[in-house]
Amino acid sequence: MTGEHLQVVHGDITRMEVDAVVNAANSGLLGGGGVDGAIHGAGGPAIMAACKAIRDAQGGCPTGEAVITTGGLLPAPYVIHAVGPVWHGGSRDEDKQLASAYRNSIRLAAEHHLRTVAFPNISTGIYGFPRERAADIAIRAVRDALAAAPGIEQVTFVCFDEENYRLYRERLA
């Protein structure tokens, strides 16, 4: 399914042949479960080594921000680690933080002259962000960010589960 430069696929982000995959990272950048664990597992130790170097230099990555590392053994040469918010009912600027994570990922991709980027569904797993709300925020934030990033040709939302795939498919139809 395609809309402008946006598309959605149902699949495994670690298998995407794009310039960069986005990791739904935690602020410590030391791996975790879900997408984070899958990307670190498939990409091998080079990703963790790069994350540790960033931690040593700047002490992690705040919520709403993003950093870029090698893709290690992944088909994608780069991983953009974006830190989404934990859902607390919407009273702690979670919408703004989630949008910022997507926008900063696009900004980093543009700064590194990348043309294709794949996103997971940031914050909708263990962080508990409501899926419909997250999909709306993600699509809006990416569209807004792409206006300032003309070199990015394709953004793919990669949905591991059927529910998120359906939500994105409906919104991008």
pTM: 0.96
Catalytic, out of 12, 36, 93, 144: 36
Mean pLDDT for the stretch of residues 68-88? 98
- Report long-range pairs for 85-94 (Cβ below 8 Å, ≥24 apart): 85/123, 85/127, 85/129, 86/123, 86/127, 86/128, 87/123, 87/127, 87/128, 87/129, 87/130, 94/123, 94/129
pLDDT higher at 2 or 113: 113
The predicted structure's pLDDT at residue 4: 66
Per CATH, the homologous superfamily of domain 2-172 is: Leucine Aminopeptidase, subunit E, domain 1 (3.40.220.10)
Q: In the annotation, is 19 catalytic? A: no
Label residue 1 by pLDDT band (50, 70, 90).
very low
* Residue owning tokens 């569904």: 121
In which band, very low, low, confident or very high, does the pLDDT at 159 lie, cut at 50, 70 and 90? very high
Percent of the chain at pLDDT exceeding 90: 94
